[in-house]
Amino acid sequence: MSRGRRGFRGGRRPNRRRRDNRKRNTDEGSSEEKAVEVEGVITSVLAGTQFRVQLQSGHEVLAHISGKMRKRFIRLVEGDRVKMEMSPYDVTKARITYRLG
């Protein structure tokens, strides 16, 4: 009994398409919303690199540190002014992207 070159499975290999690395035009019909940048002051430090931040308007939000700030070991304490990104869909949560001082 001869198995042939392909072993027991036999048959043709499926057609594999090459990945199309060209950039696509995402401007047309895009419903993606941009993040809103706001500034605030850290009022309390919580567990798991999360913080309560008070915005200039007086609202308090729950914020976490962005990945690049974690990577660079940027430390945040109460009273620091920070720049954050917020989704227009959920204004109770934010991501801290920069420490102002």
pLDDT digits (tens, 9 = 90+) for 41-100: 999 999 989 999 999 999 999 999 999 999 999 999 999 999 999 999 999 999 999 999
Q: Give me the mean pLDDT over the 27-32 stretch.
A: 53
Establish if 15 belongs to a structural domain. Answer: no
Q: What is the DSSP string of 5-25?
A: TTTTT-SPPPP-PPP--SPP-
Any domain includes 14: no
- List the domain range (segments joined by +) for residue 69: 36-99
For the residues 1-28, what does the mean pLDDT come to? 62
Q: What is the CATH number of the domain that holds 65?
A: 2.40.50.140
Residue 9 inside a domain? The answer is no
- Integer Cα distance of 62 and 48 in angstroms: 12
Q: Is 23 a domain residue?
A: no
Helices assigned H by DSSP within the chain: 67-71
* pLDDT of residue 6 exceeding 60: no
Rounded distance, CA 78 to CA 58, Å?
A: 16
Total number of domains in the chain = 1
